């Protein structure tokens, strides 16, 4: 007599795919500020990237904005905008 093997069913509730995807999205959006040069032609794109970061869940958005605000490679104006966006999340 041959026994049937038990096949485990995938339960999406037990796998935190949403948090993994959100973290990956936060990292990708953060990286855009290093990849794309800040110029008048790209400013509207970078503004949309910033808006997208603020649409992430508050803890992820706050962490991404704090990391960008502390990054000395970015301009003072952008760092100030990141700080203001992080303050906007708190209110």
Q: Residue 5: its pLDDT value, please? A: 63
* Per-run averaged pLDDT (10 residues), the chain, 91 residues: 62 68 93 94 94 92 95 95 93 69
**Helices 17-35 and 58-69: crossing angle, nearest 10°?**
20
Q: Residue 60: its pLDDT value, please? A: 92
Distance CA(54)–CA(33), nearest Å, equals: 14
Distance CA(15)–CA(66), nearest Å, equals: 28
Q: Which helix (H) or strand (E) segment is 30 a member of?
A: helix 17-35
Q: Residue 86: its pLDDT value, please? A: 94
Q: Which string of b and e fits 47-64 if b means at least 16 CB within 10 Å?
A: eebbeebbebeeebbbeb
Q: Tell me the domain boundaries of the chain.
A: 18-90
Q: Residue 90: its pLDDT value, please? A: 78
């Amino acid at each position: 007599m041959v026994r049937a093997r038990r096949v485990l069913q995938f339960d999406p509730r037990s796998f935190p795919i949403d948090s993994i995807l959100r973290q990956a999205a936060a990292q990708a959006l953060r990286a855009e500020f290093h990849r794309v040069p800040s110029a008048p032609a790209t400013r509207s794109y970078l503004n949309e990237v910033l808006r997208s970061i603020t649409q992430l869940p508050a803890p992820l958005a706050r962490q991404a904005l704090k990391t960008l605000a502390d990054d000395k490679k970015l301009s003072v104006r952008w760092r100030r905008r990141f700080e203001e966006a992080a303050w906007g999340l708190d209110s």
